[in-house]
Chains A and B, each alone.
Chain A
Amino acid sequence: MNIKFTINNKPVSIDIEDENTPLLWVVRDILDLKGTKFGCGKAACGACTLHVDDVAVRSCSYAVKFAKDKNVTTIEGLGDVENPHPVQQAWIEEVVPQCGYCQPGFMMATAALLKENPNPTDEDIDKNIINICRCATYYRMRKAIHRAAELTQESKN
């Protein structure tokens, strides 16, 4: 069957036999955007987090059919070197990544949180950012999330 949606602001049309195929594999293997990661396949780690209509979604457990006619954003569409998203800018300033594998998922989760809650408290962060980072870069992540909130405010002023 054919499913249309937009990915990073570009319309795409996918022919796929099984509409229940997880969006993750469509993004990675058909659209060749490798920034969204596979970690567990059970929505337990958050490495595959991307946005569907600005909402954070764990794409390993989200059938591609649900993305129909929606806007999907991945880390590649969040920002780029010339024009980084405030979350990416904060991640660079705080030198957050170690191995880096889980980081796109965390950045996507953070960007979605800031959209909903531009100035999250520590408690808001604790409650909402529940992905897993095995390098345990959490200490710098908390600082980077607050910094990203600041940068977002600055860019609005």
Chain B
Amino acid sequence: MAKKKISRRKFLVRGGLGTLGVLALGTYVFRNPIRREIIDFADSFVSPYSGTGTEPNLWFEITKDNTVILHSPKVEMGQGTFTGLAQIAADELDIDINQIQVIAASTASGIVDGLGTGGSLSVASMWMPLREMAATIRKMITIEAAKKLEIPVENLSTQNGIVSGNGTKITYAKAVENVTEWEIPDTPKLKPVADYKLVGKPVARIDLKAKVFGDPIFGMDAEMEDMLHAVVIRPEHIGATYKSANFNKAAQMPGVVKVVQIEDWIGVVAKTYAQALAAKMEVDVEWNIPKKWTEQEIRALISVGNGNEVLVQKEGDNLDDDDKEFLEIEFKSPMGAHAQIEPNGAVASYKDGKVTVILSTQVVGITQNQISKALDIDTKNINIIPTYLGGGFGRRLNTKHAIKAVQLSKEVGQPVKYFFTRKEEFQNDMFRPPTHHIMKGKLNEKGQISNLEHHFASGNVAIDSALLPDIANTILGADFGAIRGGSIHYSAIENIRAVQWHKTLPFATSWWRSLGLLANTFAIESFVDELALKGNQNPIELRLSQIKDNEEGIRLKNVIKKAQKEASYSDEVVNGKAMGFACSTDTGTPCAQIVEVSIIDNQIKVHKVTCVMDCGIAVNPDQVKAQCEGAMIMAMSAAMHEKMYIDDGQLQPTIYGPYDMALLKHAPKEINIHLIQGVDKPLPVGEPPLGPIAAAIANAVRRITGKRLTEMPLKLS
């Protein structure tokens, strides 16, 4: 990737711009915003398509009490991005962690990250631009301090938000007060990473207290003056459309302001949420149901050989189908729901052609564009204010339900709060697509893998998603979301093939944390273990022998060897307990995991997990570990519990419980995480640890029971 440099001519500084505010974590009176546009920062997804024409901007404000506020173009959904960005900025600004606040930028503040927050890239992609910007701003503050103190810049130094020299000092806030014309220096030399006081340290999350004391920081907590509450009725069958309805009774219910049908949904607006919900029960609606899809029909759509075929990876020769010697195993994974606890929703106000929306979203700019396009309102009249997210996991990479909230506000002439019921959430999720895999492979006389092939089918992930312009769908070959983790990283194998088949399902499938990585790694790493068993070899040694000694290969081998050593891996079953190994490389971050498993009451029990990851510079090692812990248990939940299915033409289940998820009792009691710094920059961490664990568990179970589990969720019988 090209080096991201700040262009001096693009550096804009303005003073005295309008106020933001409802969601700021602090109150501040005096503002002196410094705005900087960074070109060459189209970042975000590592994708064949790049360049949306929008460029993220960043803002710093220095308040009168000498607090720096960073308006982040990335949102905080639990991944710790705000804390990481605060550490990076504070280190280059020479301020303490307690002197910086981070808030999510609204579209009105001028910050739009065209591709949203996702792909585990927030800290990794902001690393260089944020350092350069913070260093430049520190220099600019010093220049202003020099003028006010009448001391040459060279004699000044900065520490804890204070510029000092020649026995005198001034706070940053005082230094920048009343500055109208800024002097913009060349980007100063950055501090060596080793000199940072915050980067690399386990700083406590900056949002920790807000989250422990129950502060109202989420989209669900937002309110506007004179706000009404809305619920929405949608068809429950896949592909159904509106036919007719009778609202007479509902409209007479207490508190009801309006019942309205728009396109294929009905909105019920009332004074309170309970009233809206009660009135919803009285709406009599009929839908056109052109077809009742079955589970079998959906599964048949997603099968190798069906749909568009794309060659993803090829080295050497293909396996000959007439060759009776090769091993072939089929794997499957089900649809998964995001199931984030905060439901989707929005608080919206439409007044005199101007729109304000407060919501939990991963795509601030895209949501603005969706509303603009759907309702024919100029984007300059639409302000999207993102809040903290009660979970994202990819679900909020499309928050077009904000359109409904705006439409309802327009209908009643008052602000409206609309959020999904849990059933609506489950039935209108943008699911992790089901997958089907055929693995083929063969060992040569020396016991090395001579051929390895991954043929896999998946519903859409990137294709048809809100992140890509329609045009991209026709020029994209493979679905770059579904192929995550689908390529084979055993570079020393002579004959390799990965072939993807994709198909659009009759309901939305899209981004789910780690995308294809979870299912693809399950198939590949289960199969490699099976080849090791066939050749009577240690599965880790076999893997190590199949990786070339190039830079990527060495980093991968290092995490594998470290895991092997730390967990004291053995392929023996001792007292009914076995270890299972698997590894993956995702977004340049290699990760190896070893689980200790036993079978208790015919249930798979994971006792201990060892995880080794090379994520480059860990800006906040404690939060990187928190991401590993959460990602691994979330992947365990998907691997062992979760499954969406279709019954009578409807997506099911529609409530937690029946949608079985890992609980506290399922979490391993021992988790050991070791981080390796194989490169001198931060790499993505939020998704890579989801890769190995499903296969690692299946590999351990295979050793205990002799049975190869080939379908998620993994069940013994």
Interface size on A, residues (CB 8 A): 57
Residue B273, interface by CB 8 Å = yes
Quick one: which of B254, B389, B665 contacts A99, CB cutoff 8 A? B389
Quick one: which of A37, A131, A142 contacts B220, CB cutoff 8 A? A37
Quick one: which of A95, A126, A136 contacts B205, CB cutoff 8 A? A95
Asked if A92 and B214 make an inter-chain contact with CB atoms under 8 angstroms apart, the answer reads no
Known A22-B274, A35-B216, A130-B663; judge A136-B78 contact (CB<8 A).
Answer: no
Residue A132, interface by CB 8 Å = yes
Within 8 A of A (CB), among B372-420: 388-393, 419
Residue A97, interface by CB 8 Å = yes
Known A44-B657, A95-B626, A135-B391; judge A35-B218 contact (CB<8 A).
Answer: no
Q: Using an 8 Å CB-CB cutoff, how does the interface string of B163-181 with A read, 1 for contact, 0 for none?
A: 0000000000000000000
Asked if A17 and B655 make an inter-chain contact with CB atoms under 8 angstroms apart, the answer reads no
Instruction: Please give, as numbers and ranges, the residues of chain A lying within 8 Å of B272 by CB-CB distance.
Output: 21, 25, 29
Residue B212, interface by CB 8 Å = yes
Asked if A34 and B212 make an inter-chain contact with CB atoms under 8 angstroms apart, the answer reads no
Q: Using an 8 Å CB-CB cutoff, how does the interface string of A108-152 with B read, 1 for contact, 0 for none?
A: 000000000000001001110111111111111110000000000
Instruction: Please give, as numbers and ranges, the residues of chain B lying within 8 Å of A97 by CB-CB distance.
Output: 78, 205, 207-208, 211-212
* Interface pick from B187-195, B261-269, B628-636: B628-636
Docked Cα-Cα span, A80 to B215, in Å, equals 11
Residue A88, interface by CB 8 Å = yes
Residue of A nearest to B393 (CB): A134
Docked Cα-Cα span, A62 to B213, in Å, equals 23
Asked if B221 and A34 make an inter-chain contact with CB atoms under 8 angstroms apart, the answer reads yes
Residue B622, interface by CB 8 Å = yes
Residue B11, interface by CB 8 Å = no
Known A98-B78, A134-B340; judge A34-B664 contact (CB<8 A).
Answer: no
Asked if A139 and B671 make an inter-chain contact with CB atoms under 8 angstroms apart, the answer reads yes
Instruction: Please give, as numbers and ranges, the residues of chain A lying within 8 Å of B341 by CB-CB distance.
Output: 37, 39, 45, 47, 99, 101-102, 132-134
Size category, B interface? 35 or more
Instruction: Please give, as numbers and ranges, the residues of chain B lying within 8 Å of A38 by CB-CB distance.
Output: 220, 343, 419
Asked if B390 and A37 make an inter-chain contact with CB atoms under 8 angstroms apart, the answer reads yes
Residue A100, interface by CB 8 Å = yes
Instruction: Please give, as numbers and ranges, the residues of chain A lying within 8 Å of B667 by CB-CB distance.
Output: 136, 138-139, 142
Asked if B390 and A101 make an inter-chain contact with CB atoms under 8 angstroms apart, the answer reads yes
Residue B210, interface by CB 8 Å = yes
Quick one: which of A35, A44, A84, A98 contacts B656, CB cutoff 8 A? A44
Docked Cα-Cα span, A22 to B341, in Å, equals 18
Q: Using an 8 Å CB-CB cutoff, how does the interface string of B196-210 with A read, 1 for contact, 0 for none?
A: 000000001101111
Asked if B388 and A100 make an inter-chain contact with CB atoms under 8 angstroms apart, the answer reads yes
Residue A69, interface by CB 8 Å = no
Q: Which of B255, B341, B388 has the most CB of A within 10 A?
A: B341
Residue of A nearest to B217 (CB): A100
Docked Cα-Cα span, A81 to B469, in Å, equals 46
Quick one: which of B255, B391, B665 contacts A101, CB cutoff 8 A? B391
Asked if A140 and B626 make an inter-chain contact with CB atoms under 8 angstroms apart, the answer reads yes
Residue B3, interface by CB 8 Å = no
Residue A76, interface by CB 8 Å = yes
Residue B339, interface by CB 8 Å = yes
Docked Cα-Cα span, A25 to B254, in Å, equals 16
Docked Cα-Cα span, A38 to B344, in Å, equals 11
19 CB < 8 A contacts A-B? A21-B274, A34-B216, A39-B342, A40-B422, A92-B204, A95-B623, A97-B212, A99-B389, A99-B390, A99-B392, A101-B341, A102-B341, A135-B630, A136-B630, A136-B633, A136-B634, A137-B630, A140-B629, A142-B667
Q: A47-B341, A76-B213, A137-B630 are in contact. List 10 more A-B contacts (CB 8 A).
A: A35-B215, A44-B657, A92-B212, A97-B207, A100-B78, A100-B211, A103-B212, A125-B664, A138-B663, A141-B664
The 8 tightest CB contacts between A and B, nearest first, are A35-B214, A101-B390, A99-B78, A100-B211, A98-B78, A75-B214, A136-B633, A126-B665
Q: Which of A's residues lie within 8 Å of B, judged by CB?
A: 17-18, 21-22, 25, 29, 33-42, 44-45, 47, 74-76, 79-81, 84, 88, 91-92, 95, 97-104, 107, 122, 125-127, 129-142
Q: Which of B's residues lie within 8 Å of A, judged by CB?
A: 77-80, 204-205, 207-218, 220-221, 229, 254-255, 272-274, 278, 338-343, 388-393, 419, 421-422, 622-623, 626, 629-634, 637, 655-657, 661-669, 671
